């Protein structure tokens, strides 16, 4: 029997966890992805029952969820198995800021609190607009965002938009419109030609290593390497298409760009 609003929710993606906490609906969450770290208390409050592209379907079923929340084609296999087993699933697929706001409002509707989610989305829009207004004056550094190192993968849509909102000029905006990581692979020659002033590494779950980046052949010619502007933003802050990217992720990138501007004055 289907229940509305759902009382028992399994979140296989981190941004839905954070959103439900921000909506004050975290009591509904009965299981989360092993990568869920926001807010910090989720680590001790909620059982971890999946990775990202793998999940133990029997463990999920044992939680008797009314709804399972997933993200992207990467979880399509999990979704298919859950649907076959009779579970209600909603698969989000947001890849830009507009999609993040839509995810928040859709999630609110799914759990029966549309007023809360409309308010949260509006607050986040206002926050991004405020940072954009604050950072619009001053030189705009060329920013290369690296999502992975081997192969080199540039940033996805929402990351590109966050860089622009924070006062930067993203060097591969045309690639950012491509959803699949394999379609955002760049060559060393492309990065050298782009001549970024700032490099931001966020290697999707492993620590960015500036020395390794700088040691790549030909990269000593990059302004970012020459001037020492190789910075890390933790993947939990920027690579999840949800509130984190619009708050702490945006703030972290704006701080890096402010530091770069100050170095030029």
65: domain CATH number is 3.40.50.1980
204 — pLDDT class (breaks 50, 70, 90): confident
Domain membership flag for residue 123: no
Q: For the purposes of burial, counting CB atoms within 10 Å of the CB of 102, is it exposed (0-12), middle (13-18) or buried (19 or more)?
A: middle
pTM greater than 0.85: yes
Q: Give the tens place of pLDDT for each residue, 78-137.
A: 999 999 999 999 999 999 999 999 999 999 999 999 999 999 999 999 999 999 999 999
Q: Give the tens place of pLDDT for each residue, 7-30.
A: 999 999 999 999 999 999 999 999
Q: Phi then psi for 185, rounded to 5 degrees?
A: -70, 135
Looking at residue 13, its pLDDT comes to 93
Nearest residue to 246 (alpha-carbon basis) of 25, 8, 38, 56: 38
CA distance 20 to 265: 43
pLDDT at 264 over 70: yes
For residues 206-213, average pLDDT? 96
pLDDT at 45 over 80: yes
pLDDT at 1 over 60: no
pLDDT at 174 over 90: yes
SS3 label, residue 100: helix
Domain containing 204 equals 137-264
Domain membership flag for residue 117: no
The residue from 93, 119, 154 where one domain ends is 93
pLDDT at 184 over 70: yes
Domain membership flag for residue 85: yes
Provide the number of structural domains found in the chain: 2
Looking at residue 11, its pLDDT comes to 97
- 202 and 150 in one domain? yes
Domain membership flag for residue 67: yes
- 81 and 162 in one domain? no
Looking at residue 50, its pLDDT comes to 86
pLDDT at 189 over 70: yes
159 — pLDDT class (breaks 50, 70, 90): very high
> Which range is least confidently modeled, 40-54, 143-157, 215-229, 235-249?
40-54
Domain membership flag for residue 116: no
**Cβ-contact 184, 130 below 8 angstroms:** no
For residues 39-58, average pLDDT? 90
Percentage of the chain beyond pLDDT 90 is 92
Looking at residue 54, its pLDDT comes to 85
């Amino acid at each position: 029997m289907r229940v509305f609003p759902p009382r028992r929710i399994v979140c296989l993606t981190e941004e839905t966890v954070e959103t439900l906490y921000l909506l004050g609906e975290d009591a509904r969450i009965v299981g989360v992805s092993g990568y869920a770290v926001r807010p910090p208390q989720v680590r001790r409050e909620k059982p971890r029952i999946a990775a990202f592209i793998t999940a133990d379907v029997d463990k999920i079923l044992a939680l008797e969820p009314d709804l399972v929340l997933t993200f992207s084609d990467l979880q399509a296999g999990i979704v298919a198995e859950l649907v076959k087993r009779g579970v209600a699933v909603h698969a989000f697929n947001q890849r830009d800021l507009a999609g993040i706001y839509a995810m928040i409002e859709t999630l609110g509707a799914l759990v029966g609190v549309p007023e809360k989610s409309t308010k949260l989305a509006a607050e986040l829009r206002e926050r991004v607009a405020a940072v954009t207004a604050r950072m619009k004056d001053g030189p705009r550094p060329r920013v290369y965002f690296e999502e992975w190192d081997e192969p080199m993968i540039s940033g996805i849509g929402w990351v590109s938009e966050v860089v622009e909102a924070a006062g930067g000029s993203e060097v591969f905006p045309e690639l950012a419109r491509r959803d699949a990581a394999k379609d955002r692979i760049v060559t060393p020659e492309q990065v050298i030609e782009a001549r970024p002033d700032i490099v931001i590494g966020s290697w999707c779950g492993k620590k960015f290593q500036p020395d390794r980046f700088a040691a790549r052949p030909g990269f000593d010619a990059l302004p970012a390497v020459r001037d020492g502007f190789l910075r890390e933003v933790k993947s939990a802050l920027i690579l999840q298409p949800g509130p984190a990217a619009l708050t702490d992720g945006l703030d972290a990138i704006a701080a890096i760009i402010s530091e770069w501007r100050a170095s030029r004055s």
